[in-house]
């Protein structure tokens, strides 16, 4: 959103945006008590691998979910694992 009288910022290119997301994840990963759980349902055939990179940068847990019907099961187990850390 742009307020009246404000100049519009140029949109970031994909590489700059990815770098910012990874750097933010790294900073978040250093916070005491911060835990990241990445549930990736992206089709492996077209996957960019970004979800796995974000999880690694934030020192979080990454779980690939191959079938949408498995989301609940994988999420429940992953949350239990996080709570036990």
Per-residue pLDDT of the chain (85 residues; tens, 9 = 90+): 566 777 777 888 999 999 999 999 999 999 999 999 999 988 877 778 999 999 999 999 998 888 878 888 888 888 888 788 7
Grouping H, G, I as helix, E, B as strand and the rest as coil, residue 70 is helix
Stated pTM of the model: 0.75
Backbone angles phi, psi at 84, to 5 degrees: -85, -5
List 61's β-bridge partners, or say none: 37
């Amino acid at each position: 959103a742009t307020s009246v009288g404000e100049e519009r910022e140029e949109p970031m290119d994909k590489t700059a945006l990815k770098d910012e997301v990874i750097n933010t994840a790294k900073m978040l990963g250093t916070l005491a008590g911060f835990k990241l759980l990445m549930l990736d349902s992206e089709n492996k055939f077209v996957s960019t691998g970004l979800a796995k990179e974000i999880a690694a940068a934030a020192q979080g847990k990454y779980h690939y979910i191959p079938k949408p019907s498995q989301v609940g099961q994988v999420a429940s187990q992953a949350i239990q694992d996080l709570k036990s850390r």
